[in-house]
Homo-oligomer: A and B are copies of this chain.
Amino acid sequence: MSPISLLSLLVRPHARGLRTVVASTIRQVNATRALGSVIPRKLEAPSALFGSTIRRLSTAAPEFFQVESLPDSSTTVTLDNKIRVNWHDGQQSQYHNVWLRDHCRCPECYHQLTRQRLVNTFKIPTDIRPSDLTLKKDTIEVTWANDSHKSIYPLTWLRQHSYDPPLADPKTTEIPIFWGAEIAENPPTVQFDDVMHSDSALSHWLTNITTYGFSFVDGVPVTPSHTEQLARRICFLRETHYARGLWDFTADLAHGDTAYTDLALRAHTDNTYFTDPSGLQLFHLLEFDGTGGQSLLVDGFHAAAELHRRSPDAYATLAEIPVPTHSAGDAGVFIIPTPRARPILNHDPVTGRLYQVRYNNGDRSTLTGLEARDVERFYEALRRWDEVIEDKAMEFWTALRPGRAMIFDNWRCLHGRAAFTGHRRLCGVYLNWDDYRSRVRVLGLSEEKERLI
C-alpha cells in the first residue's frame, strides 16, 4: 500500500460526511504527522516494549477474497490434523480439525440468535478427522468421521478468520488524526439539535470522537437534563462513588478530590484508580461568574507518538513500569485498581497497539513494587513525558461556555484546567468505554461485526 493510499485512508472519515473538520491545511499536516508517528512507530517499536506475548498480525494487505472467482482456483487438501485451503490469489490457509469442529456454525452447535457456542468443545475427539470433504461454490462442507455431524463453512468466513497465516484486513474505518494547539482554529463541532434528531449526525459526532478524541456540541440548552439527554444518545451514564449519573458541582469539595476545588489541574486522565477508567467524559459549564478556569485538552496519543520520537527509551519505560494509583479522599471510599498497578501507556498484548493513556500524577500512590534500578529511569521518563504534554504546541486551551458541551475520550485525551475565582457550576457525566465502543460498532463506524465474533 503506497503512502498515497494510506493518506486517503486517513482522510476517509471526512469523505463520509463529517460536517465540521479542521481546516484542510492543518488536516494535511496532521495526517502526515499521524502517518509518520503512529503506523511506522508501531512497527518499529521494540517488541520487548509490549511484553513477551506480542504477536504481529500480517502487515501485507492482500485484496479481499473474491467469492465468484473461487471454484476455478481454490482447492482443499486434508492433512494429518488440518485442512488446507489454497486460495485463488496464491495464499494458503491451514485450519486444525479441532478448531473447525469447535467453530461449527450450525444451529445445533451455535445459537443463531445469541451468537453463543453450544457445541460441547470437550467432547471433540483429539484425533477428529473428516470422513468427507466437499468444496462447493462458496462453502466447504465437512462430514466428521466420529459422529457423521456435518459442518458447513462459508469460504468468506474462513478467509476472514484465517489464523495460519492471518490474512484478514481489519478494514477499520477509524483513523485517528493527531492534533496540537492549532486545532483551536477549527475544533470538531456538531449541533445539539442535529445529534438529538438524526442518526447520521450522531455518527458524525462519534466519528469526531474516534478521529480526534474529542468534540464540541453547540446549541445545548443550559440545563443538566438536556446535558444528560445528549450523553444518552451514546449510552447510559456510568454511576461512580461521585454520582449516580450526572454530576453537577461547584468548587465546594463535596468529594475528596482536587477536581472539587478551585485549584489548577494539570493535564491528566480521570479514573486512573479504576480497573476500568471511564471511556468518555462530557462537561457542560452551566454558570460562571469569575475569572480563569479555562479548559485544557492534550491529545495523549499524539503526545505518546511525540515521546517515542524524542525518546524511545522513555516511551518504553512508561509502557513497562506499572504505577500504583488510588482514590481515597472520601471517608467511605478507598478505590485501587486490580491489578494493583498499570503502566501509563497501555498496549494491547496481541496487536501491540497503544489503547489507553492512564496518567494522573496526583493520584499516583507511593511508588513501591519496582526494582531499585528502575526508580531513576522512571522519574527521567516522567520528566520527558511532562515536557511533551506541557509543550505549548500540544496544548489546546479553550474557555467553556454555557450552551457548548465538550466530550472527550478519557483513554486518549488528557484534560486539565486553569485555577479560577468566583462562582463556577459545571455538570458532566462519565460513560463506560465498553458501551461507548458498542455504540460505535453498532452504528457501523468500526470494524465489521462478523470479523469480530
Contacts and interface: CB of A to CB of B under 8 A. Distances in A.
Given A116-B363, A340-B351, 20 more contacts: A48-B52, A53-B322, A55-B369, A57-B369, A94-B372, A96-B375, A103-B367, A113-B329, A116-B258, A122-B387, A163-B369, A276-B434, A322-B350, A333-B438, A335-B435, A335-B437, A335-B438, A338-B355, A339-B349, A339-B355
A245 to B, nearest CB: 9
B164 A452 contact: no
A115 interface: yes
Given A329-B113, A336-B452, A434 B366 contact: no
Contacts of A88: none
27 contacts: A53-B322, A55-B369, A94-B372, A98-B375, A102-B379, A111-B362, A113-B329, A114-B257, A115-B256, A115-B329, A116-B258, A116-B363, A117-B361, A118-B258, A121-B361, A126-B379, A126-B383, A163-B370, A164-B375, A275-B434, A276-B434, A334-B453, A335-B434, A336-B437, A338-B437, A351-B369, A366-B453
- Total identical chains: 2
A89 interface: no
A441 interface: yes
A433 B122 contact: no
Contact of A253 (B113, B253, B329, B452): B113
Contacts of A452: 324, 326, 334, 336, 365
| Ranked 4 nearest A-B pairs via Cβ | A276-B276, A114-B329, A164-B372, A116-B362
Interface of A: 48, 51-53, 55, 57, 81, 94, 96, 98-99, 102-103, 111, 113-118, 121-122, 124, 126, 161-164, 166, 168, 236-239, 241, 244, 253, 256-258, 274-276, 320, 322, 324, 326, 328-329, 332-341, 348-351, 355-356, 361-372, 375-376, 379-380, 382-383, 386-387, 390, 433-435, 437-438, 441-442, 449, 452-453
Given A434-B274, A449-B334, A350 B355 contact: no
A174 to B, nearest CB: 13
Contacts of A253: 113
A239 B241 contact: no
Contact of A366 (B113, B161, B375): B161
B257 A116 contact: yes
A162 B356 CA distance: 30
Contacts of A350: 322, 339-341, 369
Contact of A111 (B114, B162, B239, B258): B258
B99 A367 contact: yes
Given A239-B236, A340-B348, A366 B103 contact: yes
B320 A53 contact: yes
B239 A328 contact: no
A368 B113 contact: no
A368 B163 contact: yes
Contacts of A365: 452-453
A49 B452 CA distance: 27
A333 to B, nearest CB: 6
A386 B120 CA distance: 10
A370 B95 CA distance: 12
Contacts of A449: 328, 334
A335 B235 CA distance: 12
A372 B162 CA distance: 10
B348 A166 contact: no
A385 B238 CA distance: 35
A42 to B, nearest CB: 15
Contacts of A118: 258, 362
Nearest to A235: B241
Contact of A117 (B257, B364, B433): B364
